[in-house]
Chains A and B, each alone.
Chain A
Amino acid sequence: AQSVTQPDIHITVSEGASLELRCNYSYGATPYLFWYVQSPGQGLQLLLKYFSGDTLVQGIKGFEAEFKRSQSSFNLRKPSVHWSDAAEYFCAVGASRYKLSFGAGTTVTVRA
């Protein structure tokens, strides 16, 4: 069965510093991969997705992610973090019948 691991429960980063969130997945074939962001009290917003092709994917809000098949990873990055990036981030992999399997999430705190 498909599964997603986000090893970091909580990350604190200074404003203006770079950010990398880790995601490892377990899936037999080429996966459909997603990153979502959830601001406090809100629903989830899609940041970016990978289906096939170029392994470096650009998303909204200045985020990018890189698919590495050899490492079963899909890590999310942002070169320079803004205070508004404080949120919870979820990695997800596509399962059968359009279902998604989500990781437990990583909470990002941004300090001034």
Chain B
Amino acid sequence: DVKVTQSSRYLVKRTGEKVFLECVQDMDHENMFWYRQDPGLGLRLIYFSYDVKMKEKGDIPEGYSVSREKKERFSLILESASTNQTSMYLCAIALSSYEQYFGPGTRLTVT
């Protein structure tokens, strides 16, 4: 079974803090993704990575950065958290042919 874990289920941070969300996979998959999910908007792609140190912007990269130093770990970074980044964040990995498997999500609240 594919396993994708995310470092926290719930997180509360203050405006201006630097926030790290971590995603870890237990297989050797190249492609990893970060989405945010908001009511009525579905899932929107923030960034994805297709190999170690390789990354590409998604549809809404502003205010975010990512890091992938090891194949199994993909981190999402909020350089200076703002209240409009309060959301559910989902990490996913892709097997071949677009099939993606998701972690349980991190619900981030920025106050």
How long is the Cα–Cα vector from A16 to B74 in the complex, in angstroms?
A: 42
Q: Mark B83-111, 1 if CB is under 8 A from A, else 0.
A: 00000001010100111111111000000
Chain B residues with CB below 8 A from A49, complex form: 99
Verify A105–B42 contact, CB threshold 8 A.
yes
Number of interface residues of B (CB under 8 A): 25
Interface: A17 (CB within 8 A): no
A51: which of B48, B58, B97 is its contact (CB, 8 Å)? B97
Q: Count of A-B contacts with CB under 8 A? A: 60
Verify B103–A43 contact, CB threshold 8 A.
yes
Verify A43–B42 contact, CB threshold 8 A.
no
Verify A90–B42 contact, CB threshold 8 A.
yes
Interface: A25 (CB within 8 A): no
Chain B residues with CB below 8 A from A51, complex form: 97
Interface: A35 (CB within 8 A): no
Verify B42–A32 contact, CB threshold 8 A.
no
List 10 tightest A-B contacts by C-beta distance, closest first: A94-B98, A43-B102, A102-B42, A44-B102, A102-B43, A104-B42, A98-B94, A43-B104, A32-B98, A98-B31
Can you list 14 A-B contacts with CB-CB less than 8 angstroms, sorted by A residue number? A4-B42, A9-B40, A32-B97, A43-B4, A45-B102, A46-B99, A51-B97, A90-B42, A90-B43, A94-B97, A97-B56, A98-B98, A98-B100, A99-B58
